Homo-oligomer: A and B are copies of this chain.
């Protein structure tokens, strides 16, 4: 804190005077300093309200960009027949707990019960300070942690109203009590599309086509990567190391960086047998076209039933995708192992080609979405778009269309009460034509009004003084090049069409 604030400075001098006048014992001194510290704290609280760490305010420009992202995705979702649902921010903790592992349970934001929140806790329990146990007595609701569990709960609750296969999308914030860091927030949006109640691989194909369309609309060049959990299971089966599949994919992923020797070394360090490493060689070195990769896999995995099933699935997807002339690159990538505990078939990931950033979209097929809520047999496949990362990519590549900002198109300068009436009438006509129009609300200095137009990036300013009103016209200034023109209202409307 600095002493630039006059009130604060004053209070310091008063305190200092008191200090000199009254200084007697150590106790006095400490009391004075404590009071002073309190004063500073109060003053700072008053002067600087803040928001919880890991959360964000979104400014008008950021919101316009976010709306552009969500609207683009939403439109493509509709084009492919997905329908939106929303679920409440708060779910019962019984719905959320135990679904995200022990670590996840800790990261749930829990909501204190209303009223006498201690009524369920005994004196002994309070005295014990067992926070895990007490949390469940004090709280019965929590904030949603992702969109998948609320979706599963939704499907079970509304099973009789839903026509399956159910193609739903959901764009809502989720909350996690993670340690905040760069790019990781405690409140962030997820944007999920899933098809549940259908095992058909056509759903996988449609999700890939949809994703291609989304990024084509954004103008982001991407590589859509695909893998299949069954192929990974087949590999594990062949080499007899079912628990090491993550270690193996992590090591293979490093081939380009560290070379074959070091990859094999790393596999050895992970206690993978020499025999298994030998069997893995064609998989580590897997390259060529997608077809060539599938051929290699076919010979390596010939004896694994599940592996061959995975190859069959991937072949079907590749057939369809090749016919569809994707704008994106499409690549079979065995190192894709996201959500391995969860996905049972296809695994997807999307990388932006022109920006160094993690995956911007991911998904896959899963079995048994709703079993945990007592409704077995509902499988599905889904994809999740990372809004925050897409936001960053579009910013870095400067790909936001100009009109996505939805800013005001023209501002009428306010010269005073006499001219106001004329401006209101003009604004009415412009708005009738869908032109976003403002009238500056007060007859402030010209510089201030122009500064306002600049601040909001308004491209045109309208000037209607005595002369313009007499002529029934408007002087229009182009804010980017300073050019001024005297126009009729019809000419002005034409300017925006």
Query: Do A51 and B138 form a contact, CB below 8 Å, given A64-B83, A83-B63?
Result: no
Contact of A86 with B112 in the complex, beta carbons under 8 Å: no
Query: Which chain B positions have C-beta within 8 A of A81?
Result: 408, 411, 436-438, 456
Query: Do A441 and B157 form a contact, CB below 8 Å, given A51-B91, A81-B436, A138-B138?
Result: no
A contacts with B, residue count (CB < 8 A): 112
Contact of A57 with B157 in the complex, beta carbons under 8 Å: yes
Q: Is A320 an interface residue (CB 8 A)?
A: yes
The residue on B at minimum CB distance from A435 is B79
CA distance A439 to B406 in the complex (A): 35
Contact of B323 with A88 in the complex, beta carbons under 8 Å: no
The residue on B at minimum CB distance from A421 is B323
CA distance A78 to B406 in the complex (A): 7
Q: How far is the CB of A248 from chain B (nearest CB, A)?
A: 33
CA distance A51 to B88 in the complex (A): 8
Q: What is the total number of copies of this protein in its complex?
A: 2
Stretch at the interface among A23-31, A123-131, A249-257, A347-355: A123-131
Contact of B131 with A118 in the complex, beta carbons under 8 Å: yes
Pick the most buried of A51, A87, A168: most chain B CB atoms within 10 A of its CB. A51
CA distance A9 to B270 in the complex (A): 51
CA distance A425 to B107 in the complex (A): 46
Q: Is A198 an interface residue (CB 8 A)?
A: yes
Q: How far is the CB of A321 from chain B (nearest CB, A)?
A: 10
Chain A 154-169 near chain B by CB (<8 Å), digits 1 or 0: 1011100101110110
Q: Is A230 an interface residue (CB 8 A)?
A: no
Query: Do A117 and B135 form a contact, CB below 8 Å, given A57-B158, A441-B203?
Result: yes
Query: Which chain B positions have C-beta within 8 A of A186?
Result: 90
